[in-house]
Amino acid sequence: MAAAPMQGMHSMWYDHYRGAVYPLDLDGTPSYRQPKLYAASLLETCCAYIVRDANLTRIAIESVPPILCIHMMEAALKGNHDRSIQALMSRWMLKSLVLFKLVPSVFSSLLPLYEPLYQSDIVRQGLRYTTSLAHTFLECLRQQSATKLRHLDLTGFPTAEVILYYLTSHCMLVHNENRRNNMVTLYNQAVSLAEECAGAGGGKNQHSPLEIDMQNCLPSDISIEIKLDAFVTSESCHSELCKALTVSSFPGARFRLIVEKLCITCLGGDRVNLLLKQVTAEQLKGLQLKYNSLRNMDFVRMAPVLQSFTSLTALDLSCNYISLYDNESMAVIMKQTFSTLSKLERLDLSNNRLKNKLCTVLLGVTHPLKHLRLAACGLTVLDLTALAMFPYLESLEELDLSENNLSPCHFPLIPILAKVSGAIRILEFQECGITDEVMNMLSYHLTFMPRLTYLNMGGNAWYSETTLKLASQVSKLSGLRVFKLSYPLDCYFLGMDEDKTLETEAKNAFRTSLHTALENAMTDGQQNEQLKVVLDEINRAAE
């Protein structure tokens, strides 16, 4: 999956923005596809009108108080008015600009959990913000505009790899220009000293001072700092970022890059380890190492570096080849690594083989977690028992056990559901092979989760009776807004070569029955009217 130089920069891996690194604001409203629920203020209306025209924006900058320029920047960013953004930044009167204070988070609502197209939309919007500001900032500096901006904070939104490459290249240009200018200065000082010595001795100096008439990409009298979330998928960008982070740490560096969230993908263990060593440990808060084919020895090599990231709040090691099965020493190393991450709140270990070793791993977590994903980890009864005894289970707001065979583990599932019931908001058991019998046993415990907002039970092969019973029970939860499940088995006709008519009729009949069951679940005249039921297909081979 390795990409040729610069090739991977034009493809965005949208699923990287779902998971541990970017938490969703579950109480927020969708950023798009929904009309505003409030009337804009007079200030917002005026600013939105002004920034539609870049010329009008330039005129306004000269006549309004500086505080209004901040409100105009908010309007320009929300409306994607790049020319007005450039006009405002070229006359920015403050030394800093923090993106997340100007625009609402795009990672709001539950839609990204079950609507891939919406997730793509919000990621693209985040990329528009960071792309516009990063490029405009450097252009304003290069053109020596009147801006006073020296610190640009783009954190909270993804930065496209092509922009990251652009920033790292400028960082190295500034570093090389500094070296060149310093060498010229030293040479001219030496020439001046030689002239003085030659004059004193009656001789003649054979060298003349160097004069270089070259425009620097950054004015010589300023220093800048850009803080961002970096996404790296190509070897060329990886190389440039390593060099840029190295020179950013030098004393007197005039162009500093600071990484707060780092996502490295498809680069392998050696490159991951190399880049991690260049990151400023106390600045890094989110780390995603998805799809890097990391094996046990790769993790062992990077464990000392991971242990130094004491400010880390989110860690995603999913979709690698880490295997703890019959490997207690490896499990102990992972436990020791997690024990040093005292601020960790969100952890994703999905798609690694943790069979029978989850107990050891969880012993390294010495403080409450909010988010835990263990999808497709080959969990056993022993692992689920360890999870049920996890002392911080009650603090979890998000738990994902999808793609594990949970039917043999139904006994420890009961205390797990009981302990998470107070705080849990997102609960996912997709494609867990849960049988009708086990589901009927567990469904009662799902009704005691007052804060549950999103429940994903899709991909489990049940019959209509079980599915309708579960839907009617969970619909009584006043906080539940999305319930995802699959069509029951009796909606499919396996082995038949006829057309899809019977299947379509069965699905339509089931949807009618589901609607009736939800209406009948009304209690004391109250019904969860905000509940959205999302139906998807199951594996047709399931029996």
Question: Between 38 and 271, whose confidence is greater?
Answer: 271
pLDDT class of 415 with cuts at 50, 70, 90 = very high
Tell me the average pLDDT across 524-528.
Answer: 59
**CA-closest candidate to residue 85, choices 166, 152, 162:** 152
State percent of the chain over pLDDT 70: 85
**Residue pLDDT, tens place only, 490-520:** 888 765 555 678 888 899 999 999 998 888 8
CA distance 99 to 101: 5
Residue 479: is its pLDDT beyond 80? yes
Tell me the average pLDDT across 44-48.
Answer: 92
Q: Share the mean pLDDT of the chain.
A: 87
Beta bridge partners of 426: 398, 454
Tell me the average pLDDT across 516-528.
Answer: 71
Please answer whether residues 313 and 343 qualify as being in contact, where contact means their C-beta atoms are separated by less than 8 angstroms: yes
The secondary structure of 277-343 as a DSSP string is TTS-GGG--EEE-TTS---HHHHHHHHHHHHT-TT--EEE--SS--B-TT-HHHHHHHHHHHHT-TT
The single-letter code of the amino acid at 367 is H
344 Rama class: left (phi>0) / alpha (psi -120 to 50) / beta:
beta
- Would the pTM count as exceeding 0.75? yes
pLDDT class of 98 with cuts at 50, 70, 90 = very high
Residue 14: is its pLDDT beyond 60? no
**Residue pLDDT, tens place only, 336-372:** 999 999 999 999 999 999 999 999 999 999 999 999 9
Predicted local distance difference test score (pLDDT) of residue 220: 75
Tell me the average pLDDT across 202-224.
Answer: 66
Helix (H) / strand (E) containing 227: strand 224-232
| Range among 108-117, 202-211, 270-279, 532-541 with highest mean pLDDT value | 270-279
Helix (H) / strand (E) containing 372: strand 371-373
The single-letter code of the amino acid at 48 is A
pLDDT class of 9 with cuts at 50, 70, 90 = very low
Residue 132: is its pLDDT beyond 90? yes
